[in-house]
């Protein structure tokens, strides 16, 4: 065995490019799968620890008023372990927004970063870490706050994080956190009464526990006072974090699937070919008296060496990738403790990759050890050659040159090799289209939302609609946004948006119609998950009212943001709905008085915020593109070079017969172009389909992601794949220069 | 027609130099079958490769008509092989996915003479097998296709390196007969390399090699004609 091992090492050295490529493919597969798993599992476990350590609530309710009886009734529901009412007020600290909650006994425990624990008997304020960081606030500082027209100063007692605000956007108008502009804080009920001088009713309730009919119960208890109801899957502050885990998880599974499939395919072919080229050696070993088992074990150790080594190095590198991805997520999510975590499936993939390498080596060696050594020593090839279907088409076939016939027969006869080549190219196209298409789809979503669907310059939050309307009867365009319970629906409350006259809202239906009077328009994502079709009757009850209205669904809107429903003010009022819009969408030159408006948001801010959101994911997409590109280069190079090596002898013969090098190179190109073309052609629809699946994994209750493929995605992907494939042929055909004609005369290997 | 003048061929292996051929001189004539005979390792293949323009000598000239083949560049050498030389190999080197006829035709096409490939397959007695693939034929049949392929180019020089090396003696004789006929009836000079001394009697000229040097050259005015195979 000692000599066999020496032989092993020498052969690895001799064929090091092939070995290195298998090593790299094993390495890349492991890095991608384990690396991404480390990050989503890490995010998941960081989240889970945080959630359980802080006893995160399960339901959140906003209401115009909440009494102790209401709280009691909720507490008495089966499965509910705790319910607390409190008060939420929107205050300002200078130009910035500070949302202050006041609970006697908060359900969700606050995580204290520095300073004192939250106590309802203590005065002062507890402020969130990110806001404090953005404004260099420290424990002991005094904070100047204004509420309505009152101003007061509160001492910072503690810097905190709340698991109710893992992803805190401040308002639904933003899809990404904006920590410097929006903060949240906690004060005791005492402080609320004495310093803020708030004497209104309590307006929020947090609930811990599980009740199967919670939505219905809350509606029953609070009736028309109910303003919003959320659970962990709908509260964006929490659901975004949970959804992100699933997003990265699905993405990693989906992507790794193609990735590992491609890598396995190329590894298998490479190893198999490498060992098949050792046919004579194997025959010699057999002739010398080595047992089949010994020979197979010897060659299987090739696979183990290279596959195992690649996997091992991959395992060592993967945590860096996990950490890199998690670091990008740290900017978005407010979680005190970040950890990496891995699951058994990582081990499974490591074993799978190694096993495939061993198996490829083993099977190839086994087929080589079958039969008598003499057959192999003679070096006769035994490919079954036959006529192919194409030949039935005699008109075409007879017009084909002999080299053309040769190429086509080889393509049809060496089905595995051809299939590998086609899958390699098609898989590469899929990776490229999905890799490029994903960030493009996201960017497209932002552009469509803020350049096409909405064209306002600013959103004004008007203090008093009636007054403002009387003073400015021509002000446009009013929108009224409220949470609503649609029936039938998919179990989640959504937004009903009533749009007034104006020209700032432009979203179109599937039939390219804009929103018109006479019915309800449901967004596509909502329609899909609640199985709503055009023509259906939909009941709607907006929160804050007890009235239920029924509308006919007039169209399905292609709008990605804010999954819910739209209708015109006219239709709303005709049905008996009360008009009380608070938002005025205005053009750039619109003049207004500061005193009429409580706050404003510009579309520019929204767009910038949305781009932040996209950019946060960009590093993951980029990572995937980089690894994808690496893999594509290796896979295509390998498959190309293998099919070249397999025909080297024939090429040498042709050289002896007097074919010129450029002619031979053309021949090699033709063969490659045929497989590349087929793979490419199949790869385009497959890639678009894959992108669709890939993009879907990012959709949430509130946002629907749709695949967006433009010509450039296809052009760039195609260009890259063709470039890789053709340059492989080019590089490989450089070896034609060194084709040893003398060798060809000595008979086959 | 073709003449080797003071040909040397050195191979360098590591820092050692192996002299495969030393001071080789001989002539090859049209209408003659030249047999190059010698034990294994004596330099037969090396000689044939230089003759066929697949390799260059280290020293000396290969005079073919008016030109020195040894000084041709790669492109010219390819043209030399393409237009003037036909090869027959020990292991046939047919293209597995082309039929017998197509294997012949692909070579014929290279020289751009619109030769009738069928004619050459008939000449080697394979008109029944033209639609067969190499793996459906016996070794002797494959070698005959290989000869037909070489002939289809209507070469001035037909070079055969141990064409019967992988064949039984009866089939070998058949092949020898074909080659003899080619030399006799066409304008193609035939050179055959073998280590088998039995074939000596069939050649018009026999060149014996030993350790890279010419041991003897003998002319045979009455070679034995092969009959009845
Ligand atoms: N490519 C090469 N490199 C080094 N030595 C070679 C090479 N080809 C042939 N030789 C050597 O040249 C000598 C003649 O070889 P060859 O012409 O193949 O002999 P033959 O065909 O008569 O058996 C041998 O000693 C052989 O080892
Ligand atoms: Mg030889």
pLDDT-based confidence at residue B115 (cuts at 50, 70, 90):
low
Top pLDDT among A255 and B178 is at B178
Can you tell me the distance from the alpha carbon of A148 to that of A92, in angstroms, rounded to the nearest whole number?
Answer: 9
pLDDT tens, position by position, A50-85: 999 999 999 999 999 999 999 999 999 999 999 999
Can you tell me the distance from the alpha carbon of A239 to that of A167, in angstroms, rounded to the nearest whole number?
Answer: 8
Nearest to A660 among B52, B78, B111 (CB): B78
Distance of CA A210 to the CA centre of its chain: 30
B89: tokens are 């190999």
pLDDT-based confidence at residue A480 (cuts at 50, 70, 90):
very high
Can you tell me the distance from the alpha carbon of A168 to that of A166, in angstroms, rounded to the nearest whole number?
Answer: 6
Residue ranges in A98-235 assigned as alpha helix (H): 129-134, 189-194, 214-222
Ligand 1: residues with CB < 6 A are B 11, 13, 18, 20, 38, 40-46
A638: tokens are 């390998």
**In A473-548, at which residue ranges do the beta strands (DSSP E only) sit?**
478-487, 494-499, 520-523, 537-542
Can you tell me the distance from the alpha carbon of A708 to that of A700, in angstroms, rounded to the nearest whole number?
Answer: 17
Can you tell me the distance from the alpha carbon of A533 to that of A539, in angstroms, rounded to the nearest whole number?
Answer: 14
Question: Taking all residues of chain A, what is their mean pLDDT, rounded to a whole number?
Answer: 87
The residue among A693, A145, A542, A52 whose CA lies nearest residue A336 is A52
Q: Is the pLDDT of residue B129 over 60?
A: yes
> Which DSSP state fits B70?
G
Residue with tokens 């709905």: A577
Q: What pLDDT is stored for residue A339 in this prediction? A: 93
Instruction: Give the contacts of B101 (CB within 8 A, at least 6 positions apart).
Output: B117, B118, B121, B130, B131
Q: What pLDDT is stored for residue A749 in this prediction? A: 35
Top pLDDT among A701 and A9 is at A701
Q: What pLDDT is stored for residue A745 in this prediction? A: 61
Nearest to A742 among B49, B80, B136 (CB): B49
Q: Does A746 touch chain B (CB under 8 A)?
A: yes
- Tell me the average pLDDT across A453-461: 91
Ligand located closest to A747 CA: 2
Residue B157 has φ and ψ, to the nearest 5°, of -135, 125
pLDDT-based confidence at residue B113 (cuts at 50, 70, 90):
low
pLDDT tens, position by position, A530-589: 999 888 888 998 888 878 899 999 999 998 888 899 999 999 999 888 888 889 999 988
Q: What pLDDT is stored for residue A459 in this prediction? A: 92
Best residue for ligand 1 mutational test, from B7, B8, B18 (most atoms within 8 Å of Cβ): B18
Q: Is the pLDDT of residue B91 over 50?
A: yes
Nearest to A383 among B54, B96, B109 (CB): B96
Sign of CA dihedral B44, B46, B47, B53: positive
> Which DSSP state fits A508?
B
Residue B19 burial by Cβ neighbours in a 10 Å radius (0-12, 13-18, 19+): middle
**Strand B33-37 to strand B189-194: parallel, antiparallel, or no bridges (unpaired)?**
parallel
Residue with tokens 């929108």: A479
Greatest CA separation for chain A: 105
Q: What pLDDT is stored for residue B218 in this prediction? A: 92
Could you give the 3-state DSSP secondary structure of residue A72? helix
For the ranges A11-15, A37-41, A673-677, B157-161, the lowest mean pLDDT is seen at A11-15
Please give the distance, rounded to the nearest whole angstrom, from the Cα atom of residue A732 to the centre of ligand 2.
29
Q: Is the pLDDT of residue B112 over 70?
A: no
Best residue for ligand 1 mutational test, from A738, A739, A742 (most atoms within 8 Å of Cβ): A742
Q: What pLDDT is stored for residue A378 in this prediction? A: 47
Can you tell me the distance from the alpha carbon of B4 to that of B8, in angstroms, rounded to the nearest whole number?
Answer: 10
pLDDT-based confidence at residue A728 (cuts at 50, 70, 90):
confident
Q: Where are the domains of chain B?
A: 29-57+84-219
Residue nearest to atom 6 of ligand 1 (CA): B11
Q: Quick check: A252 and A36 in contact, CB under 8 A?
A: yes
Q: What pLDDT is stored for residue A373 in this prediction? A: 53
For the ranges A2-11, A150-159, A466-475, the lowest mean pLDDT is seen at A2-11
- All residues of chain A having their beta carbon less than 8 Å from the beta carbon of residue B105 are 402
pLDDT tens, position by position, A638-690: 878 877 777 787 888 888 888 888 888 888 888 788 889 999 999 999 999 99
pLDDT-based confidence at residue B24 (cuts at 50, 70, 90):
very high
Could you give the 3-state DSSP secondary structure of residue A200? coil
Ligand located closest to B18 CA: 1
Q: What pLDDT is stored for residue A206 in this prediction? A: 96
Q: Quick check: A456 and A585 in contact, CB under 8 A?
A: yes
Q: Which helix (H) or strand (E) holds B87?
A: strand B85-88
Q: What pLDDT is stored for residue A113 in this prediction? A: 94
Q: What pLDDT is stored for residue B58 in this prediction? A: 94
Could you give the 3-state DSSP secondary structure of residue B225? coil
Q: How far apart are the first and last CA of chain B?
A: 31
**Domain A458-586, CATH among 3.30.70, 1.10.287, 1.10.10, 2.40.70:** 2.40.70
Number of H helices, E strands in chain B: 6, 10
A386: tokens are 């036959």
Can you tell me the distance from the alpha carbon of A686 to that of B29, in angstroms, rounded to the nearest whole number?
Answer: 65
Q: Quick check: A460 and A587 in contact, CB under 8 A?
A: no
Please give the distance, rounded to the nearest whole angstrom, from the Cα atom of residue B9 to the centre of ligand 1.
10
Q: What pLDDT is stored for residue A521 in this prediction? A: 94
pLDDT-based confidence at residue B123 (cuts at 50, 70, 90):
confident
Q: Does A655 touch chain B (CB under 8 A)?
A: yes
- Tell me the average pLDDT across A486-507: 89
Top pLDDT among A708 and A393 is at A708
Please give the distance, rounded to the nearest whole angstrom, from the Cα atom of residue B194 to the centre of ligand 2.
8
pLDDT-based confidence at residue A336 (cuts at 50, 70, 90):
very high
Top pLDDT among B43 and A18 is at B43
pLDDT tens, position by position, A160-173: 999 999 999 988 88
> Domain B29-57+84-219 has what CATH class?
alpha beta
Count of CB contacts below 8 A, A vs B?
97
B4 to A346, A691, B60, B63, B87: CA distances (angstroms) = 69, 68, 8, 6, 19
For the ranges A333-342, B102-111, B172-181, B212-221, the lowest mean pLDDT is seen at B102-111
Q: What pLDDT is stored for residue A182 in this prediction? A: 93
Can you tell me the distance from the alpha carbon of A534 to that of A524, in angstroms, rounded to the nearest whole number?
Answer: 11
Q: Which residues pair with A59 in a beta bridge?
A: A207, A231
Q: Does A590 touch chain B (CB under 8 A)?
A: no
Residue A474 has φ and ψ, to the nearest 5°, of -100, 5
The residue among B73, B77, B104, B99 whose CA lies nearest residue B88 is B104
Can you tell me the distance from the alpha carbon of B200 to that of B194, in angstroms, rounded to the nearest whole number?
Answer: 9
- Tell me the average pLDDT across B26-40: 92
Q: A385–B102: do the CB atoms touch at under 8 Å?
A: no
Greatest CA separation for chain B: 54
Q: What pLDDT is stored for residue A383 in this prediction? A: 60
Q: Quick check: A484 and A606 in contact, CB under 8 A?
A: no
Query: How much is the pTM?
Result: 0.81
> Which DSSP state fits B43?
S
**% chain A with pLDDT above 90:** 42
The residue among A60, A103, A466 whose CA lies nearest residue A234 is A60
Q: What pLDDT is stored for residue A379 in this prediction? A: 45
Q: What pLDDT is stored for residue A227 in this prediction? A: 86
Q: What pLDDT is stored for residue A302 in this prediction? A: 80
The residue among A325, A337, A331, A339 whose CA lies nearest residue A130 is A331
Can you tell me the distance from the alpha carbon of A583 to that of A578, in angstroms, rounded to the nearest whole number?
Answer: 15
Ligand located closest to B38 CA: 1
A248: tokens are 């990265």
Cis peptide before A488 (omega within 30 of 0): yes
**Strand B189-194 to strand B59-64: parallel, antiparallel, or no bridges (unpaired)?**
unpaired
The CA radius of gyration of chain A, in Å to the nearest whole number, is 33
Can you tell me the distance from the alpha carbon of B52 to that of B59, in angstroms, rounded to the nearest whole number?
Answer: 16
Q: Which of A159-179 are b and which e, b meaning 16 or more Cβ less than 10 Å from the residue's Cβ?
A: bbbbbbbbbbbbbebbbbbbb
Residue with tokens 């290969």: B62
- Tell me the average pLDDT across B188-208: 92
Q: Where are the domains of chain A?
A: 1-56+235-375, 57-231, 380-455+601-749, 458-586
Could you give the 3-state DSSP secondary structure of residue A659? coil
Sign of CA dihedral B88, B89, B91, B95: negative
Q: Is the pLDDT of residue A136 over 90?
A: yes
pLDDT tens, position by position, A88-133: 999 999 889 999 999 999 999 999 999 999 988 889 999 999 999 9
Top pLDDT among A382 and A303 is at A303
Can you tell me the distance from the alpha carbon of A127 to that of A137, in angstroms, rounded to the nearest whole number?
Answer: 9
Q: What pLDDT is stored for residue B171 in this prediction? A: 87
Distance of CA A382 to the CA centre of its chain: 48
Q: What pLDDT is stored for residue A404 in this prediction? A: 80
Q: What pLDDT is stored for residue B37 in this prediction? A: 94
């Amino acid at each position: 065995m000692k000599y066999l091992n020496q032989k092993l090492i020498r052969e690895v050295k001799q064929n090091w490019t092939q070995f290195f490529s298998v090593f790299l493919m094993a390495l890349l597969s492991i890095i991608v799968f384990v690396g991404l798993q480390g990050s989503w599992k890490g995010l998941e476990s960081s989240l889970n620890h945080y959630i359980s350590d802080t006893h995160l609530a399960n339901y959140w309710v906003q209401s115009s008023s909440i009494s102790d009886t209401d709280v009691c009734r909720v507490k008495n529901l089966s499965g509910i372990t705790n319910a607390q009412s409190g008060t939420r007020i929107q205050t300002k600290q200078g130009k910035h927004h500070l949302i202050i909650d006041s609970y006697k006994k908060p359900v969700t425990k606050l995580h204290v970063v520095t300073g004192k624990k939250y106590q309802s008997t203590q005065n002062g304020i507890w402020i969130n870490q990110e806001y404090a960081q953005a404004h260099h606030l420290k424990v002991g500082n005094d904070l100047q706050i204004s509420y309505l027209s009152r101003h007061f100063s509160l001492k910072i007692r503690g810097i905190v994080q709340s698991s109710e605000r893992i992803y805190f956007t401040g308002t639904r108008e933003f899809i990404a956190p904006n920590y410097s502009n929006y903060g949240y804080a906690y004060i005791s009920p005492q402080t609320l009464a004495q310093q803020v001088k708030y004497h209104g009713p309590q307006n929020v309730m947090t609930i811990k526990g599980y009740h199967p009919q919670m939505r219905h119960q809350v509606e029953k208890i609070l009736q028309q006072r109910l303003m919003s109801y959320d659970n962990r899957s709908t509260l964006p502050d929490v659901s975004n974090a949970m959804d992100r885990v699933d997003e990265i998880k699905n993405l990693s599974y989906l992507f790794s699937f193609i990735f590992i499939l491609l890598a396995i395919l190329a590894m298998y072919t490479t190893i198999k070919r490498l060992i098949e080229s050792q046919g004579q050696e194997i025959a010699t070993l057999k002739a010398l008296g080595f047992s089949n088992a010994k020979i197979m074990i010897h060659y299987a150790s090739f696979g183990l060496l290279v596959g195992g080594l690649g996997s091992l190095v991959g395992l060592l590198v993967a945590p860096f990738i996990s950490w890199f991805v998690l670091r990008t997520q740290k900017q978005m999510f407010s979680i005190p403790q970040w950890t990496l975590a891995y699951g058994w499936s990582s081990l499974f993939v490591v074993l799978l990759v190694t096993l495939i390498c061993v198996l490829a080596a083993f099977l190839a060696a086994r087929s080589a050890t079958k039969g008598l050594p003499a057959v192999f020593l003679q070096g006769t090839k035994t490919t079954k050659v036959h006529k192919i279907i194409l030949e039935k088409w005699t008109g075409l076939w007879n017009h084909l040159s002999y080299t053309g016939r040769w190429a086509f027969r080889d393509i049809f006869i060496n089905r595995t090799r051809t299939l590998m080549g086609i899958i390699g190219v098609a898989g590469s196209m899929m990776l490229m289209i999905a890799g490029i298409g994903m960030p493009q789809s996201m960017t497209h979503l932002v552009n469509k939302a803020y350049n096409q669907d909405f064209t306002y310059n600013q959103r004004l939050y008007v203090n008093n609609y009636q007054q403002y309307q009387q003073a400015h009867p021509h002000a446009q365009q009013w929108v009224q946004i409220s949470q609503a319970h649609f029936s039938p629906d998919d179990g989640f409350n959504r937004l009903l948006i009533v749009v007034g006259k104006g020209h700032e809202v432009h979203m179109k239906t599937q039939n390219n119609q804009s929103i018109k009077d006479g019915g309800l328009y449901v967004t596509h994502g909502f329609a899909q998950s609640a199985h709503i079709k055009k023509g259906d009757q939909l009941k709607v009850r907006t929160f804050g009212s007890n009235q239920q209205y029924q509308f006919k669904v007039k169209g399905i809107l292609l709008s990605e943001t804010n999954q819910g429903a739209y209708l015109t003010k006219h239709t709303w009022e005709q049905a008996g709905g009360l008009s009380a819009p608070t938002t005025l969408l205005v053009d750039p030159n619109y003049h207004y008085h500061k005193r009429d408006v409580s706050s404003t948001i510009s579309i520019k801010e929204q767009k910038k915020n949305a781009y932040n959101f996209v950019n946060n994911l960009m590093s993951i997409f980029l990572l995937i593109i980089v690894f994808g590109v690496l893999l594509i280069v290796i896979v295509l190079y390998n498959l190309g070079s293998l099919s070249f090596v397999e025909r080297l002898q024939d090429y040498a013969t042709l050289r002896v017969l007097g074919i010129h090098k450029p002619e031979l190179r053309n021949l090699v190109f033709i063969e490659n172009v045929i497989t590349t073309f087929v793979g490419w052609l199949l790869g385009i629809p497959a890639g678009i389909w894959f992108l669709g699946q890939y993009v879907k994994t990012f959709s949430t209750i509130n946002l629907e992601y749709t695949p967006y493929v433009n010509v450039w995605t296809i052009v760039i992907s195609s260009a890259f794949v063709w470039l890789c494939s053709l340059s492989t042929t080019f590089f490989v055909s450089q070896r034609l220069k060194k084709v040893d004609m003398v060798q060809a005369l000595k008979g086959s290997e | 027609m073709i003449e080797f003048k003071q040909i040397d061929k050195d191979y360098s292996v590591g820092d050692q130099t192996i002299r495969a051929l030393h001071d080789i001189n001989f002539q090859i004539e049209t209408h003659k079958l030249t047999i190059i005979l010698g034990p294994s390792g004596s330099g037969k293949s090396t000689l044939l490769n230089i003759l066929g323009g697949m390799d260059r000598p280290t020293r000396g000239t290969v005079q073919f008509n008016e030109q020195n083949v040894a000084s041709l560049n790669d492109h010219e050498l390819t043209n030399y092989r393409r237009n003037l030389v036909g090869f027959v190999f020990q292991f046939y080197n047919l293209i597995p996915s082309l039929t017998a006829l197509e294997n012949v035709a692909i070579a014929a096409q290279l020289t751009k003479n619109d030769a009738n490939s069928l004619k050459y397959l008939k000449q080697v007695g394979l008109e029944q097998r033209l639609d067969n693939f190499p793996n459906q034929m016996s070794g002797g049949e494959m070698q005959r296709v290989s000869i037909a392929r070489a002939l289809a180019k209507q070469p001035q020089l037909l070079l055969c390196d141990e064409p019967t090396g992988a064949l039984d003696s009866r089939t070998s004789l058949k092949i020898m007969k074909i080659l003899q006929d080619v030399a006799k009836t066409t304008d193609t000079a035939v050179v055959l390399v073998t280590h088998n001394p039995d074939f000596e009697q069939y050649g018009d000229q026999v060149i014996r090699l030993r350790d890279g040097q010419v041991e003897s050259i003998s002319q045979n005015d009455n070679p034995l004609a092969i009959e009845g195979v």
